[in-house]
Chains A and B, each alone.
Chain A
Amino acid sequence: MSKSKGTISKGVDPILIWLYLLLVGIGITAIFGVTYVEGEPVVSSFFSFKTDYSKQLYFFGISIVLATFILLTDSKFFTATANIWYAMGIGLLLLVFPFHSSVKGTESIIRFGGFQFQPAEFCKVCVCLALAKYLSRVDMNFMRTRSQLIAAAIALLPAAMSILQKETGLALVYFAFFIVMYREGLPATILVVGAAVAVLVVATLLVEKNLLAFVLTAIAAFVVYLMRRQVRRDRTLLIKIVLLWSLCVGIQRFGVPFIFKHVLQRHQVERIYSTIGRDIPAEYMKGETGEGTAENTKKKGAVDYNVKQSKIAIGSGGLLGKGLLRGTQTRFDFVPEQRTDFIFCTIGEGFGFVGTVTVLTIYLLLLFRLVHIAERQRSTFSRVYAYGVASVFFFHMAVNVCMTIGLAPVIGIPLPFISYGGTALITFTLLLFILIRLDADRQMVLR
């Protein structure tokens, strides 16, 4: 076999390529829909590199070049260099601390000439590779707690650094890797416990605290009553239930308030409360700035504004939408950040319910295809990597869309392949095409 055109495309999954092109195409159209200024010559401005849609087109070009290089590489390159990638990613993240330039409150961006680069974004690829490398070790037994902790550490180290760079949104993405770990044998109880804690936290925010404590006590008493026979037989069970109960009440009484008072930043607290549609309790307002309530209420309005305008934009699209360039909400800047984080509004307003559901369906197809591809791999490395890609895409898409339609707090992470932004597009392209490369060699056992 010679290195001809045939070898590049051999084994490459065409469905993924098509879905990829479709999403990028939708993205550029949507960015065009937002930023096109009436009267510009469309064709020439597409190649001028002056408008956002033109820039995105050029980023797409760079992505294609990179993707071609990846497809031309040997799969073994990735298994061999996975740890180096990780080291490089961490190194870049460390570089941010001395060299970052502040853009819109985040400290995670490095300016390099006219370009901005966000290592926290890029590092997802590294974590994906490193996790795949670690979990595919010959002596790996993922049932051991030690392995689980190391895997978690690999995933969460960049997250911790992102938080230090005030990029909480991107940090959250790294929690997506728990889906991978779940697939690789992380006990289901951990996810269940995680979900239970999440429910408890949401309940804490929504329900008055004494009432919630009472409800929790009632549940505990009810469980003891149901299990009275077992309890009679085994007294330690009662102690366990009491411990569990006190843990729950502890989280509700002290844990959540502690996090809201001392860990989360002011705007994050505001966004969370804005999502559940409640006013921020006075105790969380104090201590941070100590300013008057007038300013606080004003800020709350500003927080609401983004989501409210976003919902108006999507809602006013109706079934079929207003058409490209016809959306008043997105055309006239009522929705902030609509090229990047709120790009989904543009689709919602311009193309309506049909448009939004089409886009979501494309994502769902992509995710299912990724899981399908993951499961057909012979090597653990490829499978873990594929799940990593699927998890990252899923998390980005779900959080971003939920944020624009008011189901999740505002967390500034991009919609894969659609949002405007060079780093994001190139990172997602890298993630996807490394997988396509690995998948092309799915008959090999890679370590």
Chain B
Amino acid sequence: MSVFNGSRSYVVRLIFLAVFLVMVGQLVNLQLFSNELNDAAINNAVLRKTVYPPRGIIFDRKDRPILNNTLMYDLMVTPAQVKGVDTAYLCRLLGIDTAEFKTRITTAIIKGFKNRPSAFEELLSPEKYARLEENMWRFSSGFFLQQRPVRLYPYNAGAHIIGYVGEADSGIIARSGGFYRPGDYVGRSGLEAYYERVLMGQRGVQMLIKDNLNRIQGSYQNGALDTAAEAGRGLRTYIDIELQQLAEKLMKGKVGAIVAIEPKTGGILAMVSAPNYNPNDLTGWDKKKNYSRMVLDVAGPLLNRAINGRYPAGSTYKPLGALVALDEGVITPAFGIGCSGRYYGCRRPVGCTEKWSGHSGNLRQAIAYSCNSYFSHVYRLSVDNPKYGSTKTGYAKWREYQSAFGLGHKLGVDLPSENPGLIPDTAWYNKTYKGYWNSCTNVSLGIGQGEMTVTPIQMANAMCIIANKGYYYVPHFVKKIDNETKADTILAPFRARHEVLTQISDEMYEIVHSGMQDVVEIGTARGAKIPGINICAKTGTAENFRIIDRRRIQLKDNSLFACFAPRENPKIAIAVIVENAGFGSTWAAPIASLMMEQFLTDSLRAERKPEVERIAAANLMPSYLPRLQFLADSTRAEFYYGLTKDTSYIRKFRRRSQLPGAANDPNAPADSTERVNNGMAILDSAQRQLRKQNQRRSHR
């Protein structure tokens, strides 16, 4: 019986062996030939944690740090570990309700941070931090405070120069080709953005082991593969932070810009755009609130007018026009005209502020008294120069001169987003005037009006060229980078000397300098004089227009001033513009004068101090701004109402600004149907207007 079917034992053994071989075969496949499984295991378990080095510091010309790194705190939460926490108490400390608490926890879980910490509240205010810090033991299961490096600005100045640091958005991440990842902090504007790669330093990598729930378990291979983070390098700039502070103070309550440049190096000493903001507003716990407030402000506190504002140059252009004419040989320094307050050379007369005879007897006088007739005529002489055969060729040549002066194109300052300004080319005039135009068509260019626009930095740079008698360096902030190596080519463009107009002889420059010095000594800006310093300057009072409510309105003139000093050895060149403030000599000139005194003598005379306070206290905000704000707000409210049909946008808007019907009583309840309809009609028309306005703006 026992040997019955005995041969079948071999079949059974064969089955065992076959299955064994199949399993070994699969093991060979998995363990010896599948490298991707090993990679998968590493991906599973190894977390590459980026170590962020401290960002580089920015120093002013006297090596004072104009910003610091400090630590603020984020309240972090790990939802899975939140157990037995007195949520009501925590909510009270943070000033939120329990519904908000639940929302934040849920959001964290949805974002995939159930077992990993994420920010529950970012950048705690000092009060909240203090309250939380001493109660942290109550919330220790699930919550903890995490340090976060934050920029701090001890001088509360230079916001537009420095820019700000913010989280990388999707655009930055996409453009960086994977260099930045979500959650990384990058410079979003100003020097922080331009010198991002220098300031950020070298990020380090820490290899950590995590478990299946992404909890960190320790370092991978005892840190053998880790790379250390390298601190960001400092930037040594030309900025004089005291000058910057003074300039910002002087521009309080005004719209405009100031640029001060050291002519010998192109180093920017101060740059102000008004209205501006305290750079600390965009670092702390209330930065989101501040940012949205500023973004919605039509006065544009986030806009850097010093490099982006396009203004008519006005009379500050005249020294340039004089140099062009001198170089073209169409006038001599002795050339003079008679002017009785009007220039009749063209069909439409050009007005001149001076009427007495002899204010335009020669070039020097014409500059000193800013004679419009003289420079209109000189412009026409330059453009109609017989040696070029035609006005158009002459104009093209004239435009080349402007380009040499740095007008009509970007200078290449070390800040992101610079505006080129505008000097129209012949093609533009041909198109606009269908080929029929002559030197009278654009004669106002001769006095810096008309189609030309310049940015404040271009004006300051032009002053540098005049001060330097023909050459300039591209205006820039950064003198050198700490531990600079040959690989740092970022500063190379700022170290090349551009000899653009050195063909004009020094005598010619001296004549123009003399004229400009007379402006301060005997001419239009006598108030800007500083004892012991020879200042060369030019005032400007530029007409300007704006379209509001479908009407082209002539606004109060822009107050302009461009200067350099001392004449013999120029150390500072300044361009000042105060929008809609009137004569150049009234506001822009004293501002520039105070700045020159501060910079050249390192202090202000005692008798000038009240002047500073007087100017700082002056409110010159353009009168059209409230109207513009109303239009923008109502349009936005209407737009979002249209999108969502949520009337709270309209109600919120009504609460903030008053309807015209309720102009006399802003607190009057706006509940009557008539008033609401009225409001809606206004919203409608406002949107249309703003659209049109935007279109026009983009045409310009």
- Which A residues have a C-beta under 8 Å from some C-beta of B? 179, 182-185, 309, 311-319, 328-329, 332-334, 348-349, 352-353, 356-357, 360, 363-364, 367-368, 371, 374-375, 377-380, 383, 387, 390, 394, 398, 401-402, 405-407
Contacts and interface: CB of A to CB of B under 8 A. Distances in A.
Contacts of A364: 16-17, 20
B44 A312 contact: yes
Contacts of A356: 27, 31
B38 A182 contact: no
A377 B9 CA distance: 13
B487 interface: no
B9 A183 contact: yes
Contacts of A348: 27, 30-31
Contacts of A182: 8, 11-12
A380 B40 contact: no
B28 interface: yes
A184 B44 CA distance: 50
Interface residues of B, number: 40
Contact of A357 (B27, B36, B42, B45): B27
Contact of A185 (B5, B16, B28): B5
Interface stretch (B50-58, B97-105, B204-212): B204-212
A380 B27 contact: no
Contact of B19 (A315, A394, A406): A394
Given A182-B8, A332-B209, A352-B31, A311 B37 contact: yes
A319 B31 contact: yes
A407 B23 contact: yes
A35 to B, nearest CB: 13
A312 B27 contact: no
Nearest to A402: B23
Contacts of B46: 328
Shortest Cβ-Cβ A-B pairs, 6 listed: A315-B37, A328-B45, A316-B41, A332-B211, A353-B31, A315-B30
Contacts of A352: 31
Given A312-B44, A367-B16, A334 B31 contact: no
A228 to B, nearest CB: 33
Nearest to B31: A353
B45 A334 contact: yes
Contacts of A317: 31
Contacts of B30: 311, 314-315, 348, 405-406
- Interface of A, helix, strand, loop or mixed by DSSP: helix
B2 interface: yes
B2 A378 contact: yes
Interface string B419-442: 000000000000000000000000
B144 to A, nearest CB: 23
16 contacts: A179-B12, A182-B8, A185-B5, A312-B40, A314-B27, A315-B31, A316-B42, A348-B30, A364-B17, A367-B13, A374-B9, A377-B2, A387-B12, A402-B22, A405-B30, A407-B26
A405 B1 CA distance: 41
Given A309-B44, A380-B2, A402-B22, 10 more contacts: A311-B37, A312-B37, A315-B36, A315-B38, A316-B42, A329-B41, A353-B31, A356-B27, A360-B23, A375-B6
A227 to B, nearest CB: 28
Nearest to B30: A315
Contact of B12 (A183, A315, A349, A377): A183
A75 B402 CA distance: 116
B360 to A, nearest CB: 83
B16 A394 contact: yes
A39 B234 CA distance: 45
B24 interface: yes
Contacts of B36: 315
Contacts of B20: 360, 363-364
B648 interface: no
Contact of B45 (A329, A368, A378, A394): A329
B217 interface: yes
Contacts, number: 122
B137 interface: no
Nearest to B27: A356
Nearest to A380: B1
Contacts of A377: 2
Instruction: Tell which of B11, B27, B45, B46 has the most Cβ of chain A within 10 Å.
Output: B27
Contacts of B213: 333
Given A184-B5, A311-B37, A332 B212 contact: yes
A398 B45 contact: no
B554 interface: no
B356 interface: no
Contacts of A380: 1-2
B261 to A, nearest CB: 59
A312 B37 CA distance: 5
Given A328-B45, A334-B212, A374-B9, A316 B40 contact: yes
Nearest to A395: B19
A140 to B, nearest CB: 9
Contacts of B1: 380
Contacts of A349: 41
B16 A405 contact: no
B31 A398 contact: no
A314 B23 CA distance: 13
A176 to B, nearest CB: 11
A378 B15 CA distance: 24
Given A185-B5, A315-B34, A329-B45, A371 B40 contact: no
Instruction: Tell which of A185, A312, A377 has the most Cβ of chain B within 10 Å.
Output: A312
Contacts of A311: 30, 37
A377 to B, nearest CB: 7
B4 to A, nearest CB: 7
B32 interface: yes
Nearest to B214: A332
A374 B10 CA distance: 12
A406 B32 CA distance: 16
B285 to A, nearest CB: 37
Nearest to B13: A371
Instruction: Tell which of B20, B30, B36, B212 has the most Cβ of chain A within 10 Å.
Output: B30
Contact of A405 (B2, B23, B211): B23
Contact of A401 (B16, B23, B211): B23
Contact of A318 (B2, B11, B32, B211): B32
Nearest to B34: A315
A382 B22 CA distance: 30
B19 A332 contact: no
Instruction: Tell which of B19, B22, B24 has the most Cβ of chain A within 10 Å.
Output: B19
Nearest to B5: A185
Contacts of B34: 315
B26 A405 contact: yes
Interface string B204-246: 0000011111000100000000000000000000000000000
A440 B36 CA distance: 51
Nearest to B11: A182
A376 B42 CA distance: 51
B153 to A, nearest CB: 45
Contacts of B2: 377-380, 383
B210 A332 contact: yes
Contacts of B23: 360, 398, 401-402, 405, 407
Contact of B32 (A184, A185, A353): A353
A446 B496 CA distance: 108
Given A329-B45, A367-B16, A183 B38 contact: no
A371 B9 contact: yes
Contact of A334 (B13, B22, B32, B44): B44
A348 B32 CA distance: 12
Contacts of A407: 22-23, 26
A374 B23 CA distance: 25
B19 A398 contact: yes
A406 B23 CA distance: 10
Nearest to A333: B212
Contacts of B28: 353
A364 to B, nearest CB: 5
Contacts of B211: 332-334
